[in-house]
Amino acid sequence: MNRLQGKRLLITGGTTGIGLETAKQFRLEGARVVVTGQNPDTLAQAQQELGEEVIVIKSDAGRVDEQQRLVAEIERVFGRLDGVFLNAGIAIFQPLEAWYEATFDNLIAVNFKGPFFLIQNLLPILANPASIVLNTSINAHIGMPNSSVYSASKAAMISLAKTLSGELIERGIRVNAVSPGPIATPILGKSGLPAEALHQVTEMLRSQIPLKRFGNPIEIAKAVVFLASDESSFMLGSEMIIDGGTSTL
């Protein structure tokens, strides 16, 4: 229970779902933790659940200037970081003809552009060694209808795990990825789908999982703990697929 003892770790999108559960697991393993989010209600709830020792910061994951401000705040309170879980993301599922440029730009900003520039801004304060874990998605592999832009954004993150691994290893920074299948989190509820359409998407996803259930956030969080810890020191540019068998169909 002390695999992360003394480590200083950041989780983006850490106020709900996978991010919140990972923050809890990080704390149980002895880490000092910063989490980010955007919704005032979930920020307050996360602070209550995680306790006052966890630093909760309001930050928009899709804005480059917000990443700069976030890094300055982390440097002020921690000085350095030993690891990062880039978890913040949004999911929008709709057919090709329904996309508008503004919606496209927003999803790419939150899921790829923001995380990319956050890593760039974090470089001066990342310790040697350090671990970066990217939350991607099984959607990058399975070609699910109506997921074109979301899947592309997650495929970009998988590619980033590989390319930055080669680029940053001389700094002692390991980059790896987790690719969850359908997980029981609030992300689908934030997609803007009407209730009936949301139910249809949920049941469609469930039917494609060989285990016939959604995953639980803790099943992803445990993998992230491993990748953030020294136990995974020989893993570099790797992708851990945790999808209940979805990608085997």
Known catalytic residue at 150: yes
Number of alpha carbons in the 13 Å side-chain half-sphere of residue 216: 4
Q: How does DSSP assign the chain, residue by residue? A: --TTTT-EEEEET-SSHHHHHHHHHHHHTT-EEEEEES-HHHHHHHHHHH-TTSEEEE--TT-HHHHHHHHHHHHHHHSSEEEEEE---------GGG--HHHHHHHHIIIIIHHHHHHHHHGGGEEEEEEEEEE--THHHH--TT-HHHHHHHHHHHHHHHHHHHHHGGGTEEEEEEEE-SBSSTTGGGS---HHHHHHHHHHHHHT-TTSSPBPHHHHHHHHHHHHSGGGTT--S-EEEESTTGGG-
> Per the residue annotation, which of 135, 150, 214, 225 is the catalytic one?
150
- The residues that are catalytic are 150
